[in-house]
Amino acid sequence: MKNVLTIAGSDASGGAGIQADLKTMCALGVYGMSVITAVTAQNTQGVYGVQEIDTDMVDHQIRAVFEDIRVDAVKVGMVSSAGIIRTIRERLRVLGAKNIVVDPVMVSKSGCPLLRTEAVPAIRGLTEIADVITPNIPEAEILAGFSIKTEEDMRRAARVIAEQGAKNVLIKGGHRMEDGAGDLLLADGNFVFLQAGRIDTKNTHGTGCTLSSAIASRLALGDTVEDAVRAAKNYITQAIIDSYDVGKGTGPVGHLTALYRRAGMEIG
């Protein structure tokens, strides 16, 4: 069994953050562990409050896991302050963490800022240690420093982010207006454009968390970066198709529906 650690925030409604990460890891056959960086009061309609975990406690959680358990991959998600970001970066560097996937979460789908403005420069410190970084278009624009409208803009941004230290860059294209706008992967110096049609559903809560956790899980299982990204995209695509109409807003994707079906449970 491979072991994967997620370092991220908690989502009270269960669709994103730590909860989405652990469900994804379970579905993909790895043992999931968690370090909580913040507790959020949120549901399918929005984020209503964020309380950061003390920086020392974040550090203690990371050390406790690594001192006892082999860690085959790490996913880093919501980190809201510069202090927490620097702590994570330094601790993972000292511990020699491998297969680090960074999802630079900055704003929730409902528009709530999840990263303090003064912490934006510090997020580049995580970029430096990332084996894979997975920004969406708005996040890539902040990291690269310019607007992204076209596929060529995505390529240029990926190069800039790679120059900041990331070994591999996946820019998620879902925010582009074109139908079926795909994702762009810069892996080992080569570009791969991953086209996918849009799925007619409003229930996409936790897609970014889920994708990055799936990539980390597949890397832990021994995939190359390109194979891990392709497998993760297949997983998240099916999870969106199997999404749940839970709550009054943007519902969660179906992380565990394949397991439910095997158990003979009805989905929906």
CATH number reported for the structural domain that contains residue 179 in this entry? 3.40.1190.20
Q: Is residue 268 part of a domain?
A: no
267, part of any domain: no
Task: Tell whether the model's pLDDT for residue 179 goes beyond 60.
Answer: no
Let me know if residue 193 belongs to a domain: yes
Whether the CB-CB separation of 34 and 6 falls below 8 Å is answered with yes
Q: How many domains does the chain have?
A: 1
Q: At what angle do helices 207-220 and 17-27 cross, to 10 degrees?
A: 40
How high is the pLDDT of residue 180? 55
State mean pLDDT over 37-58: 94
Does residue 9 form part of some domain?
yes
Q: How do 190-194 and 183-187 pair as beta strands?
A: antiparallel
pLDDT tens-digit series, residues 129-178: 999 999 999 999 989 999 999 999 999 999 999 999 999 999 998 756 55
| Domain encompassing residue 139 | 3-262
Q: Which residues are catalytic?
A: 172, 204, 206-209
**46 in any annotated domain:** yes
Report the candidate in 93, 96, 106, 73 with the shortest Cα–Cα distance to residue 7: 73
> Is 258 a member of any domain?
yes
Q: Is the residue at 136 inside a domain? A: yes
Compute how many other C-beta atoms are within 10 angstroms of the C-beta atom of residue 151: 17
pLDDT exceeds 70 at position 108? no
For residue 60, the model assigns a pLDDT of: 98
With bands split at pLDDT 50, 70 and 90, how would you rate the model's confidence at 182?
Answer: confident
